[in-house]
């Protein structure tokens, strides 16, 4: 397929709402988009001493991002910010200095939380990081999902109540990626 998107999910939890949201969104993408969930649970903790000999999982992550037309971030909020596991992955793929995998890649940010502000602060913090990483990041529509019963159907598809809204996000993200590649 023509447009491969690297997807970074900010939760390692088996039943993660954000992973379900990501997979529900994949189904809303067009046929020429392929979404690849990047593995981040086997990355070591970032240590700058290792920049000259990055571990195999770090190299893999960087290749997945480098080879993608865009990057999608789907994240919960931990203590009003970006979960450490996601920040760790970002730090890895941004290094060594001058060899970031992210530069210029169009980004989309979305997230869900059981809290009423639905990951808004985590997303805002993430946007600061993406600006520094020189990633053109879609500004609108913002989506802060307050996860409640019925968000997903039994088949894992996004429920009727949110589908139109999330389809709009996906359509805009697809345009965003195409206009930056
Ligand atoms: C949370 N949660 C949370 N929610 C929120 O809206 N704002 C927050 O600051 C936090 N902080 C926070 C810290 C930590 C350490 C945990 C474990 C959780 C709740 C969070 O939204 C909830 O656990 C989600 O279900 C996490 O997303 P996943 O794992 O379901 O994708």
For 33-65, the pLDDT digits (tens) are 999 999 999 999 999 999 999 999 999 999 999
Q: Is the peptide bond before 141 cis (omega within 30 degrees of 0)?
A: yes
Residues near 73 by beta carbon (within 8 Å), at least 6 away in sequence: 7, 8, 10, 86, 107, 108, 109, 110, 111, 126, 130
List the beta bridge partners of residue 68: none
Atom number, ligand 1, closest to the C-alpha of residue 21 = 31
Q: Is the CB of 17 under 6 A from ligand 1?
A: yes
pLDDT the model gives residue 13: 97
Q: Is the CB of 80 under 6 A from ligand 1?
A: yes
Mean pLDDT for the stretch of residues 3-27? 97
**To 10 degrees, what angle do helices 56-66 and 84-93 make?**
80
d(CA 34, CA 52): 31
Q: pLDDT band at residue 1, thresholds of 50, 70 and 90?
A: low
List the beta bridge partners of residue 152: 158
d(CA 116, CA 105): 30
pLDDT the model gives residue 117: 87
Pick the more confident residue, 20 or 148.
20
pLDDT the model gives residue 166: 96
Name the least confident of 64-78, 141-155, 167-181. 141-155
**Quick check: 118 pLDDT over 90?**
no
Atom number, ligand 1, closest to the C-alpha of residue 147 = 25
| CATH class of the domain defined by 3-179 | alpha beta
Phi, psi of 36 (to 5 degrees): -120, 115
DSSP 94: T
Q: What percent of the chain has pLDDT over 70?
A: 99
**Quick check: 137 pLDDT over 70?**
yes
Mean pLDDT for the stretch of residues 140-165? 89
Q: Is the CB of 52 under 6 A from ligand 1?
A: no
pLDDT the model gives residue 173: 98
pLDDT the model gives residue 125: 98
| Statement: the pTM of the whole predicted model exceeds 0.80 | yes
Closest CA to 61 of 97, 99, 89, 26: 89
Residue 36: strand, helix, or coil: strand
């Amino acid at each position: 397929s023509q447009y491969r998107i690297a997807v970074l999910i900010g939760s390692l939890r088996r039943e993660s709402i954000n992973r379900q949201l990501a997979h529900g969104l994949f189904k809303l993408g067009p046929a020429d988009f392929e979404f690849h969930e990047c593995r981040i649970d086997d990355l070591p903790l970032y240590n700058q001493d290792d920049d000259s000999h990055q571990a195999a999982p770090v190299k893999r992550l960087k290749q997945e991002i480098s080879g993608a037309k865009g990057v999608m971030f789907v994240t919960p909020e931990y203590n009003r910010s970006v979960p450490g596991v996601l920040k760790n992955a970002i730090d890895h793929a941004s290094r060594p200095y001058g060899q970031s995998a992210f530069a210029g890649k169009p980004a989309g940010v979305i997230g869900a939380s059981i809290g009423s502000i639905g990951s808004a602060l985590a997303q805002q913090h993430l946007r600061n990081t993406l600006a520094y990483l020189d990633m053109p990041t879609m500004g609108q529509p913002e989506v802060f999902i307050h996860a409640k019963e019925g968000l997903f159907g039994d088949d894992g598809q996004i429920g009727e109540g949110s589908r139109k809204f999330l389809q709009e996000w996906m359509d805009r993200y697809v345009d965003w990626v195409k206009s930056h590649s």
